Amino acid sequence: MDALSTSIIDLRDVVAVYNGYPALAGASLSVEKGEIVLLQGPNGAGKSTLLRLCAGLLPVERGTAFVLGCNVQNERERIRSRVGLLGHNNGLYADLSIADNISFWASMVGALQSEIDAAMSRMGIDGSLASRSVGNLSAGQKRRCALACLIVRRAELWLLDEPHAGLDAKGRDEIDAILREASQLGATIVVASHEVERAQHLATRNVAVVAGRVQERS
Amino acid sequence: MNSTAVRSVGTPSTRLFGLLAIVCMTWVVVGGLFFTPADLNQGESVRIMYVHVPTAWVAYLAFIVTGVASAMFMFGKKHSLGFDRVAGASAEVGLMFMAITLISGSLWGRLTWGTFWEWDPRLTTTAFLFVTYLGYMAVRGLGGSPQQRARRSAVVAMLAVLEIPLVHFSVVMWRSLHQRASVLSTDGDIKMDGLMLTTLFVGVIGFTCTFAWLVSHRQRVMAMRDILLATQLDSALDERIAEGSQS
Amino acid sequence: MSTSPNIARVARVVAAKDLRIEMRSHIVVQQVLPFAGLVMVMFAFALDNDDVLQRVAGGLVWLATLFSLFIVVQRSYAIETSDGALDALRVAGVDSQGIFLGKSAALFVQLITLEMLLFVLAVVLYQVQLSLAGLVLLVTCVLCATAGLAFVGTLYGGLTAGARGRETLLPLLLLPVVAPASSSERNPRNGIGIFKWRSSACGWLAMGRSAGSFCRALRHWRPAFLWRPHRGMIRQS
C-alpha cells in the first residue's frame, strides 16, 4: 500500500471490465474516513460497478485500488468482511422472516441479541412485523430489513446503491438519519443515488460518474 | 503490440515433434497394415489396435495433463494463465483422441463381438469420461474474465481426472467384455508378437508427439487470442472515454 | 470492526438456514418427492416387467434420486441468487469453505430424507424383498454415496449458479461423476432382492470417498470463485 495514503478508498485510474466492456475506464476517487460521498450519474455511467469494485466483488483490470488499506487486486477477502454493500437487490431470503434474516447475518458476525433488537427497532421492523416472511413484505420494508442486516454486520465502509428506492418520504428521512448516525459513529459511506436534492442534504461531498470516470463536483 | 505480423506459431521444438510424429505415423500405417501379422484369434481386426490403444493412452495423458496444469494454476503463487491455456488445449486434444478411441473401439467391437456397443464397464466408463470432458469444455465456454474461466475450469478438471483410474481399472473391478491390460499386465509377461509390440510402441510415440504438437500450437493460439482481447480492451476504453467527452 | 466467523460456525449457520427454508417451503416433500415418485412410476411403465423391475430396483431408486438431485441443487442456489443473497454473503466476507460445507450438509439431510421415502416407495411399487444380511452394506453405501452426491452437487451447483444454460450444464457436469451410483446387481445365491451393489458398491464407495477426501483435502482452497457475477447482478445506475 502507498504509505502516504490513509484514505478509506483510494482508486487511481482504475479500469474494471465486465464481459469485455470497460464499465470503469480510468476512475480515480479518494474517500476519507467519516465522509458521506454521493455518486451521481446517468444510467450506465459505472456507479454500481464502482461500488462493487470497492466491495471487493470485481477484479481490477488496470490501475490501483486500495480499500481500507487493502489492495483490491489481491486482498479482496480482507476487504469484504469490513465492507457492507446494499445493491439493487436486498440480499434477503424470501422464505425466512425478518427476524430470521437478521439473525442469520448476526450469527455470521457474532452480534448480540441486543444489537439485533436495536437494529430492528431503529428500522421500524420489530414487533409483529418481525415474524412476517420477507416474501410478503413491501419493497420499502424489504429495504429496511436489508439495512438492518447491514447495521448488525458493523461494517466500517457502507456502499449503498439507491438506498432510498421503494421508500416513502418518512422512510427516506429515517434512512438519512441512520446514515448520518453511522457516519458520526465512524463509518464511511458512499451512496449512489438519482435523488440529487435529497442526497445533497445528506452528503459531505458530491462526485459525478460519467462514462466510467469520476468528476468531482462542488 | 508488436507491429510485425505473426505468420506462424511454429518453433523448432514443435517442428521436431511434428517431424517425429510424421515418421512414427508412417511406420504405424505401413507396418500396421502390411508387415505385422494377423492375430491368432482376432484375425486382421487386430490392426485397429495400433490406433485404438495409443489414442486411449494419449487421451488419458491429455486429461492428466489437464488436471496437473489446472492444479498448478490453482495452487501456484502466481496463478499463471499459461497453465490454464495448457489445460484447455490438452483437454480439447484429449477429447479428440478419446472420440477416436471410442469410434475405433466400436469398429473393433463390431468385428470381434458382433456389436458396435456393449454396456460393458470399460466402454461405459469411457463414455462417461468423454462426457465429463465435454462438460469441462462447456464450463470453459461460460464466459467471464480469463481468471474466472481458469478458476472454474481448474476445479472441474481436478475432479474429472479422478475418473481415469475408475476407467482404467474397470476391467479389473467388474466383469468386462473388454480385455485386460496386455502390455501393462501385472504378471509382467507381455504375450504379443515382437513386431506387433514394436509397432504398438511406435504408435504410442507417434500419437504422443502428435498430441504434443497439437497442444503446443493450440495453447499458443489461445495466448494470441488473450492478447487480442487485451488489444480490443484498449479500443473499447478509448470509445468509452470519448463517450464521456461528448456528454 | 466486524469479525470473521470460523468455518464450523458458518457451516452450522448456513446449514440451519437452508434447512429452515426447506421446513418453511416444504419443496422437497411437496414437489421433489412427488416428482421422484412419478419418475419411479414412469420406469415401471417403460420397463413393464415385474422381474426386471425387481432386479433393477436399486438402480431405479438411485436414478430417481439423481434426477431429484438436479432439482434440489438448483433450488438450493436459486434461493441464494434470487435476491442477491449469494452476493451479500461474498461481500460479507463469509468463509466460502463454511458456505460450501453448510450447503453440503443441508443437501445431505434433504437427500437422505428423500432416499428413505423412495426406499419405502420401491418396496411398495416394485415388491422387492429385503434381507437383513445386506443391511450394513446398504446403510454404508447409502451414507457414503449420499455424502458424495451432496459434496459434488454443491460444488457443481455453485459453479453453474447464475451461469447461462445452467439448467442443462448442471446435469452435464454432474451425471458422469455420479453415474456409478445407479448401478445395481442381483446376487441370486443369497436371495438379496435390492440394493445389491457388491463390486459396484466398492466402485461407488471409492468414488464417494475420493470425492469427499478431495474436498476435505482442499483446506486452503477458497471456493469463492465459484460464485461469479452473472449478467443480472449488475444493473448500471
Model confidence over A171-192: pLDDT tens digits? 888 888 888 888 888 889 999 9
CA distance A12 to A30: 8
CA distance C81 to C161: 8
Q: What number is the average pLDDT over the span C227-231? A: 33
Looking at residue B180, its pLDDT comes to: 63
| Domain co-membership, A115 together with A166 | no
State the number of CA atoms in the 13 A half-sphere of A88 facing the CB.
12
Q: Which of A143-157, C86-100, C180-194, C217-231 has the lowest mean pLDDT?
A: C217-231
Chain A residues with beta carbon closer than 8 angstroms to that of C82: 94
In the predicted structure, residue B94 carries a pLDDT above the cut 70: yes
Give the pLDDT band of residue B68 (cuts 50, 70, 90): very high
Q: Tell me the pLDDT tens digit for each residue of C11-63.
A: 999 999 999 999 999 988 889 999 999 999 999 889 888 888 888 888 888 89
Q: Tell me the pLDDT tens digit for each residue of C95-148.
A: 889 999 999 999 999 999 999 999 888 888 888 777 777 888 888 988 998 999
Looking at residue B55, its pLDDT comes to: 96
Closest residue by Cα to residue B159 from B80, B71, B58, B89 = B71
Are B240 and A212 in contact (CB < 8 Å)? yes
Q: Tell me the pLDDT tens digit for each residue of A189-216.
A: 999 987 777 667 788 888 999 999 998 7
Chain B residues with beta carbon closer than 8 angstroms to that of A19: 143-144
| Domain co-membership, A52 together with A120 | no
Looking at residue C221, its pLDDT comes to: 35
In the predicted structure, residue C190 carries a pLDDT above the cut 70: no
Q: Where are the alpha helices (DSSP H) in chain C?
A: 7-25, 27, 33-47, 50-81, 85-91, 96-126, 135-160, 166-178, 199-217
| Ramachandran sector of residue A46 (left: φ over 0; alpha: ψ -120 to 50; beta: rest) | left
The torsion defined by the Cα of B157, B161, B163 and B165, in degrees rounded to 10, comes to 180
Q: Are strands A36-40 and A188-192 parallel, antiparallel or unpaired?
A: parallel
What is chain A's length?
218
Q: Which of A48, A77, A109 is nearest residue C236 as measured by Cβ atoms?
A: A48
Q: How many CB pairs under 8 A join B and C?
A: 66
pTM: 0.80
Question: Contact at 8 Å (CB) between B126 and B167?
Answer: yes
**Which residue from C minimizes the CA distance to B126?**
C176
* B143 in A contact zone (CB under 8 Å): yes
| Domain co-membership, A212 together with A109 | no
Is A87 among the domain residues? Answer: no
In the predicted structure, residue B222 carries a pLDDT above the cut 50: yes
For residue B83, the Cα-to-chain-centroid distance in whole angstroms is 15
Domain boundaries, chain C: 7-222
Is A136 among the domain residues? Answer: yes
**Any residues with CB less than 8 A from the CB of A126 and at least 6 apart, and which?**
A117, A120
Looking at residue A145, its pLDDT comes to: 92
Domain that holds residue A107: 94-154
The DSSP line for B184-207 is S-TT----S-HHHHHHHHHHHHHH
Question: Contact at 8 Å (CB) between A93 and C83?
Answer: yes
| Domain co-membership, A74 together with A110 | no
For residue C34, the Cα-to-chain-centroid distance in whole angstroms is 17
| Domain co-membership, A78 together with A9 | yes
CA distance A103 to C14: 12
Are B241 and A20 in contact (CB < 8 Å)? no
Are C225 and B148 in contact (CB < 8 Å)? yes
Q: Where is pLDDT greater, at C60 or C209?
A: C60
Are C83 and A94 in contact (CB < 8 Å)? yes
**End-to-end distance of chain A based on CA atoms, in angstroms?**
29
Which of 3.40.50, 2.60.40, 1.20.120, 3.40.1130 is the CATH number of B14-184+192-236? Answer: 1.20.120
| Domain co-membership, A30 together with A46 | yes
Q: Which of C1, C21, C82 is nearest residue A82 as measured by Cβ atoms?
A: C1
Looking at residue A166, its pLDDT comes to: 76
Count up the domains in chain A and report the number: 2
| Domain co-membership, A182 together with A132 | no
Is A54 among the domain residues? Answer: yes
Burial string for C100-113 (b: 16+ CB within 10 Å, else e) reads bbbbbbbbbbbbee
Q: Tell me the pLDDT tens digit for each residue of C66-110.
A: 999 999 999 999 989 888 888 888 888 888 899 999 999 999 999
CATH of the domain at A199: 3.40.50.300
Cα radius of gyration rounded to whole Å, chain B: 22
| Domain co-membership, A74 together with A163 | yes
**Which residue from C minimizes the CA distance to B133?**
C173
What percent of chain B has a predicted confidence (pLDDT) above 70? 89
Chain A residues with beta carbon closer than 8 angstroms to that of C89: 91
Question: Contact at 8 Å (CB) between B83 and B70?
Answer: yes
Is A184 among the domain residues? Answer: yes
Beta bridge partners of A217: A206
| Domain co-membership, A61 together with A3 | yes
Looking at residue C231, its pLDDT comes to: 34
The torsion defined by the Cα of B103, B107, B112 and B116, in degrees rounded to 10, comes to 70
In the predicted structure, residue C10 carries a pLDDT above the cut 50: yes
Mean pLDDT of chain B: 87
Question: Contact at 8 Å (CB) between A161 and A51?
Answer: yes
Question: Contact at 8 Å (CB) between A53 and A101?
Answer: no
Chain A residues with beta carbon closer than 8 angstroms to that of B231: none
Q: Which of B211-215, C162-166, C200-204 has the lowest mean pLDDT?
A: C200-204
